Amino acid sequence: MKYIVVTGGVMSGLGKGITMASIGRILKNHGYKIVPIKIDPYINIDAGTMNPYQHGEVYVLADGAEVDLDLGHYERFMDVDLRREHNITTGVVYSAVIERERKGEYLGQTVQIIPHVTNEIKARIRGVAEKSGADICLVEIGGTVGDIESMPFLEAVRQMKLEEHENDFLFVHVTLVPFTTMREQKTKPTQHSVKALRELGLQPDIIVCRGKEALKEDVKEKIAMFCNVSPEAVISAPDTEDIYEVPLLLEREGIFFYIMERMQLEQSKEDPAWGKMVERRKKSASGDKLIRIAIVGKYAELEDSYLSIKEAIKHAATELECRVDTKWIEAEDLEEEKEIGSFFDDVHGILVPGGFGVRGAEGKIKSIEYARENKIPFLGLCFGFQLAVIEAARNVAGLKDANSSELCETPHPVIDLLEEQREVVEKGGTMRLGDYEVFVRRDTLAERIYRENKIVERHRHRYEVNPAYIEQIEREGVIFSGTDRSGTRMEILEISPDMHPFFLATQFHPEFRSRPNKPSPPFKAFLEGCMQKH
């Protein structure tokens, strides 16, 4: 097994995740089987309880693991399905070590960071790598060099470097090369970052330098000299208009050939599919077809909270060769407005994403009502689906006080806990997470979108449509067109195309399974509906 470890320095948010995802894409393009691992040094067990304002979106894996958004980049770039073990946190590691200590598995030893914690980290990395059957395991260590939280992980990979064959281990370090006001590229932050890494016993093999513009040759040579690498190992990674261009940029910089030589990989013919996809994206981005959609959310000021939705829109737009301009609307801003038409005058579609809690809920319901009454293409996701059910119950079925029991006490809890869920939740059970089958009714919009009657999509919710209200809600073209196998959990709500040009809401999150070359069917259909509206 060969390992590539990606670390970061100078500051967070430089793009380690995109860099590692891009390296994985390059290796996959050359025929290598890869497996990614993300190490998050925070003490949380997972990202599920984190506020999106602090950490961006919570991404959900096939097995229901709630993880850092970088794993979403890995899945999209590398076209792989990951599981819980591909995300290692300090909380997971320490929990395992403490549990072993309580069971007496350390035979009375004094349990310490070295060797017990570092051994646990190494065992987890190697376990995932070997189980995958991959050729190369890529490991990203979150945070920046110098963070106290990441020290045990950096020590663990230092030990692994010594324990593995020299050609089987490679370090990539991502740093920042900033500009001065005189437009001079400064290398000192990179030098200090590499110095901090070397003080921990780690020498980077490749340095990926982020910045607004490409590195000048003399700057590359200076970094190489002061950081003890060859000039070919200094890779310029300037900002790009599209993150999916990054693998092509890094390949042009020679990163694959350097990795190939250092790790003694065999040369292979490159698959051109990724490059063709990027060209299609450029063509669509410069084309005449422009549609504008409104996203009504409660974290609209932080777009990373809806990262997978943004990417799914891009994937669909590429397939349809159109440009999409996104208008972000704070749901709370709609709640005090009697007339909300001015918010949507210039849009061709409205999307209401997932979310939790009462804040902004009524504003989202107002936007759903506006989309339904004015026949504007609409897509609702997860909480957006539940609010679409509430809106239909209130304004179509006549249940004026309909609401979710999650949000308030209501005489008509059209969104509620199913009976079999109540005991589980009372005992501390959590949400319905990960991949589940959805059965699609025949002769519906959903069937035309998916072109099959059994699909698999990812979920992240706790409350469900109350079966007691289904018959009352299903009227005037409102249809529940998708359920689980039992038929008790409603998964898709739509309005008949005879009554509305495009109105679809899903209890699941289709954005999590969207890929650059395989756009999510609901997103593609939504944009098609917007184009027809345009």
Catalytic residues: 382, 509, 511
- Partners of 139 in beta bridges: 5, 37
Tokens (6 digits) for 473: 């809600």
Cis before residue 178, ω within 30 degrees of 0? no
DSSP letter string, 234-249: EEEEE--SSGGGHHHH
Q: How far is CA 455 from CA 287, 435, 494, 519, 525, in A?
A: 33, 10, 17, 15, 16
Residue pair 45/91 in contact by the 8 Å Cβ criterion? yes
Q: Classify burial at 236, counting beta carbons within 10 Å of its beta carbon; exposed 0-12, middle 13-18, buried 19 or more.
A: buried
Query: What is the end-to-end Cα distance of the chain in Å, rounded?
Result: 53
Tokens (6 digits) for 97: 């070590």
CA distance 275 to 242: 13
- Partners of 465 in beta bridges: 415
Q: How far is CA 22 from CA 16, 358, 500, in A?
A: 10, 39, 41
Please report, as a single letter, which amino acid is at residue 230.
Answer: S
Please report, as a single letter, which amino acid is at residue 533.
Answer: K
